[in-house]
């Protein structure tokens, strides 16, 4: 262990030197080349040169950077910085991406600490937060751009030649605690920051997550433990249209919806899901089996009391019948019941209405036979992984922009698409 660290410490300066040499070489290669103005295309004039530094993982880099100016429109241009993709005094792109990878799994303070341990980089939580804003904005714009692009029917998707016969799409939502303040606190002089205002109840916003998978790729690594080989996640801090636009774009990118593909949509009772599901011509709507049972449970508890064996048996029988496709029998049986209290009557009516409304989405025997599955377990676990594990830790409050950006980055990691970040620019955010 000590040997390894010793070598690292010993060679760090050498790595910095090697990197610095490469920077000098790039600077030399540009010398004498006159850039043209991006606005008026005229050749620019060399104005001055200044030494600029920025932070890389192995230390601080410097370069003498020529500044050019357009005599016509006064635009300025520093070709070396553009080519290297760095900004003076800022963190370089490679380090920024590493810091983002830590911040998508750990809170900012811990990510900063991990940066010290893993990368040997000293940085504050605020420093990590800043690079996440800049990279995250880029990632969020990319995925939103993708949704917009595919919302146009002339968009080019991947080939659907090998489109699967069946795709399963499921969606779920949960609440995120939001910050109340609209403006960031500012430090005046050397005074400590003013305390955060108390968070009133009800400051929440829904995050929606959708999962796409192929039922043919479902595996059972051990009895009763189901998983899938591949799944693609889409998540957003937005309305129903936004999440469905994202899911549709992802399907187009994958080439998963061909003219004969059956799109299976699994959801709970939420109307917004079924309203949007109609965008798929060949579709099969399924009411999540576990939600269907959860509603039965609420009646059973009232009927027989908490943790009673009879309640257990009552729900078990409903489960068996539903699984066998006998939803109409179940409804008929519920209607024959004579509830003794107004409360029970109301709950029972609610359950009957729920099953009647969704009966067309409860042919579970058929869905099982066709291999579609009957539950939205995949989306619930995915949703927990996307949202809960990072965004819903004790006391966390988010700004809309902060959540949107971090969410976009976290999805890249969970979808195993982190390499995309290399192709995205770091953007400046106010």
With CB under 5 A as the contact rule, which of the stretches 40-48, 119-127, 275-283, 421-429 interacts with Zn ion?
A: 40-48
C-alpha distance across the termini of the chain, in Å: 43
Query: 44 vs 123, which CB is nearer to Zn ion?
Result: 44
Contact 298, 306 (CB under 8 A): no
Binding residues among 218-247 for Zn ion as defined by CB under 5 A? none
Does the footprint of Zn ion cover residue 385 (CB under 5 A)? no
Q: Is 38 in the site for Zn ion (CB under 5 A)?
A: no
User: Of 37, 207, 265, 412, which one interacts with Zn ion (CB under 5 A)?
Assistant: 37
Rg (CA), the chain: 28
- Measured from the CB atom, the residue of 43 and 145 that comes closer to Zn ion is 43
Q: Which range binds Zn ion by CB under 5 A, 38-46, 126-134, 330-338, 403-411?
A: 38-46
The three-class DSSP label of residue 76 is strand
Considering CB under 5 A, how many residues would be counted as binding Zn ion? Answer: 6
Q: Does 68 bind Zn ion (CB under 5 A)?
A: no
The beta-carbon contacts of 416-423 under 8 Å, at least 24 apart in sequence, are: 418/101, 420/139, 420/142, 421/97, 421/100, 421/135, 421/138, 421/139, 422/97
Contact 282, 261 (CB under 8 A): yes
The Cα 17–Cα 360 span in angstroms is: 69
Nearer to Zn ion, 68 or 232 (CB): 68
Is residue 77 at the binding interface for Zn ion, with CB under 5 A as the rule? no
User: Residues near 209 by Cβ (< 8 Å), separated by ≥ 6?
Assistant: 171, 172, 173, 233, 234, 235, 243, 379, 382, 383, 386, 387
Nearer to Zn ion, 42 or 388 (CB): 42
* Euclidean distance between CA atoms 27 and 273, whole angstroms: 55
Stretch of 24-32, 73-81, 134-142, 209-217 lying at the interface with Zn ion (CB under 5 A): 73-81
Q: Does 73 bind Zn ion (CB under 5 A)?
A: yes
Residue 40 interacting with Zn ion (CB under 5 A): yes
Q: Are 71 and 35 in contact (CB under 8 A)?
A: no
Residue from 56, 65, 70, 257 in contact with Zn ion (CB under 5 A)? 70
Give the binding range for Zn ion (CB under 5 A) out of 33-41, 114-122, 164-172, 278-286. 33-41
Residues engaged in binding Zn ion (CB under 5 A): 37, 39-40, 70, 72-73
């Amino acid at each position: 262990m000590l040997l390894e660290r010793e070598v690292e410490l010993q060679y760090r300066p050498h790595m910095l030197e090697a990197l610095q040499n490469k920077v000098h070489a790039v600077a030399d290669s540009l010398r004498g080349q006159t850039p043209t103005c991006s606005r008026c295309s005229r050749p620019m004039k060399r104005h001055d040169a200044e030494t600029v530094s920025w932070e890389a993982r192995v230390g601080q880099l410097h370069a003498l950077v020529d500044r050019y100016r357009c005599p016509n429109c006064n635009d300025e241009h520093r070709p070396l910085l553009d080519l290297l993709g760095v900004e003076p005094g800022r963190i370089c792109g490679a380090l920024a991406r590493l810091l983002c990878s830590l911040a998508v799994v750990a809170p900012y303070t811990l990510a900063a600490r991990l940066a010290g341990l893993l990368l040997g980089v000293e940085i504050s939580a605020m420093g990590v937060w800043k690079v996440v804003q800049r990279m995250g904005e880029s990632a969020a714009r990319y995925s939103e751009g993708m949704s917009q692009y595919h919302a146009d029917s002339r968009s080019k998707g991947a080939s659907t030649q090998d489109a699967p016969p069946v795709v399963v799409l499921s969606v779920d939502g949960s609440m995120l605690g939001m910050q109340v303040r609209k403006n960031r606190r500012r430090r005046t002089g050397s005074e400590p920051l003013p305390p955060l205002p108390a968070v009133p109840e009800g400051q929440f916003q829904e995050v929606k997550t959708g999962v796409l998978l192929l039922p043919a790729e479902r595996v059972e690594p051990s009895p009763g433990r189901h998983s899938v080989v591949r799944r693609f996640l889409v998540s957003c801090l937005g309305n129903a249209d936004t999440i469905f636009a994202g899911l549709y774009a992802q399907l187009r990118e994958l080439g998963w919806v061909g003219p004969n593909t059956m799109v299976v949509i699994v959801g709970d009772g939420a109307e917004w899901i079924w309203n949007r599901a109609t965008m798929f011509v060949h579709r099969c709507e399924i009411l999540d089996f576990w939600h269907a049972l959860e509603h039965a449970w609420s009646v059973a508890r009232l009927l027989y009391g908490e943790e009673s064996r009879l309640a257990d048996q009552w729900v078990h029988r409903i489960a068996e019948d539903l699984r066998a496709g006998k939803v109409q029998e179940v409804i008929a049986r519920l209607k024959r019941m004579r509830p003794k209290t107004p409360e029970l009557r109301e709950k029972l009516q609610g359950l009957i209405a729920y099953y009647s409304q969704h009966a067309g989405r409860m042919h579970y025997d058929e869905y099982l036979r066709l291999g579609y599955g009957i539950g939205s377990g995949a989306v619930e676990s995915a949703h927990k992984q996307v949202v809960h594990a990072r965004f819903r830790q004790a006391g966390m409050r988010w700004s809309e922009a902060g959540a949107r950006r971090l969410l976009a980055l976290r999805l890249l990691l969970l979808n195993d698409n982190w390499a995309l970040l290399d192709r995205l620019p770091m953007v400046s955010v106010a």
